[in-house]
Amino acid sequence: MSHPILACRGVAKLYGAKASRFVRDGRFAGAPEELSAAGVVSAVRDVDLEIARGETFVIMGLSGSGKSTLVRCLSALTPPSAGEVLFEGKNLNAMAEGDLLQIRRHQMGMVFQNFALLPHLTVLGNVAFPLDVQGVRKAEREAKALEMIRLVGLSGREGRFPRELSGGQQQRVGIARSLAVKPDLWFLDEPFSALDPLIRREMQDEVLRLQGLLKKTIVFITHDFDEAVRIADRIAIMKDGRIEQIGTAEELVLHPATDYVRAFTQEAPRAKILTARAVMAPAPSGADFAGRVEARARIASFAHEVEAADRPFAVVDGGAVIGVVDRLAMIDVLVGRERKAAAA
């Protein structure tokens, strides 16, 4: 990946009175049993990753996996115990506090799980608050806040207080507030986990809509694989403070790097993840096709037609036939058997 907007190298976050003994020359060094004996907890350890500008990068794992601690390190809210976090090639940990504060205020936005709205401020006041902190004049900050309020579909509710809004509306206020400073990096830390399933899906749609409009770089934290599949370009799966694997949803399902990733993705909605390219077989010479599907099309989008046909469908890329998909491929997807993709 060339020139990532955000990267980390050997990042670790340790907690405990003796944590410093496990950091040597700025790098983490210590076996789990040594840490345990010293009463040191490694919330994050030896994390390396790169996030491209405009990418939606999802970090996921079970409770206690270290995902929220990692995002606090990435967003410069918590300094790592070891390693470095690079924003546009600059080491955040080596910056003066004033410079770091400016980056957090002007180039980073964050949406929290608990909404974190100020109860004494109206919708307009909450959205305009980060601009007020920046010292933006009242007329200008309110104009920008109104723009964000319109963007998230809350026009007409500018004068309401958080207690007068539904959970989904409150989260929209949080989203609008985080976007008011027009950040380069947008952090969302399990933002929808407190919402009921219908509102949660609606908010996922909202993030997808906003990303389509604004093209932000998003770092999204979740423990829900279905949610990750819907919004992610790439996914990092964490366990015990380490990243087990980074890849697209399809790569994680088809090529799990560890037994943990395999178990984590076992119940994934395969038909919504895998593409025709992933399950196609070689195309026989002179085959009679019932139809065509694009190589990048998700299985769920054409499964019914293929299952109902008595002949295979051609898989095409750029107009050229590169393989076939048939009823057997559909069965393989549903039961979790992968077919080796044909060579393109």
Question: What band does 342 get if pLDDT is binned at 50, 70 and 90?
Answer: very low
**Interatomic CA distance for residues 133 and 113, integer angstroms:** 22
Identify the CA nearest to 44 among candidates 28, 62, 26.
28
Per-residue pLDDT tens for 106-157? 899 988 877 789 999 999 999 999 999 888 999 999 999 999 999 999 999 9
The answer to whether residues 268 and 249 touch, using CB atoms and an 8 Å cutoff, is yes
Please say if the pLDDT value at position 6 is more than 70: yes
**Interatomic CA distance for residues 126 and 30, integer angstroms:** 44
The answer to whether residues 76 and 92 touch, using CB atoms and an 8 Å cutoff, is yes
Pick the CATH number of 52-83+90-264 from 3.40.50.300, 3.40.50.1240, 2.40.50.140, 1.10.10.10: 3.40.50.300
Quote the pLDDT of residue 269.
84
Mean pLDDT score of the chain, rounded to an integer? 90
Q: Where are the domains of the chain?
A: 52-83+90-264, 270-335
Kindly report the pTM of this predicted structure: 0.86
**Interatomic CA distance for residues 135 and 255, integer angstroms:** 50
The pLDDT > 70 percentage for the chain reads: 96
Pick the CATH number of 270-335 from 3.40.50.720, 3.90.1280.20, 3.30.1330.10, 2.30.38.10: 3.90.1280.20
Quote the pLDDT of residue 329.
75
Please say if the pLDDT value at position 251 is more than 90: yes
Please say if the pLDDT value at position 257 is more than 60: yes
Sequence-distant (≥ 6) Cβ neighbours of residue 308 within 8 angstroms: none
Per-residue pLDDT tens for 76-91? 999 999 999 999 999 9
**Interatomic CA distance for residues 10 and 83, integer angstroms:** 5
Task: Pull the structure tokens for residue 288.
Answer: 């009679």
Quote the pLDDT of residue 336.
61
Per-residue pLDDT tens for 291-313? 999 999 999 999 889 988 989 99
Per-residue pLDDT tens for 261-283? 999 998 888 888 999 998 898 98
Per-residue pLDDT tens for 21-67? 999 888 998 888 899 999 999 999 999 999 999 999 999 999 889 99
Quote the pLDDT of residue 335.
66
Return the H-helix or E-strand segment holding 176. helix 167-179
Burial of 67 (0-12, 13-18, 19+ CB in 10 A): buried
Quote the pLDDT of residue 271.
87
Quote the pLDDT of residue 19.
92
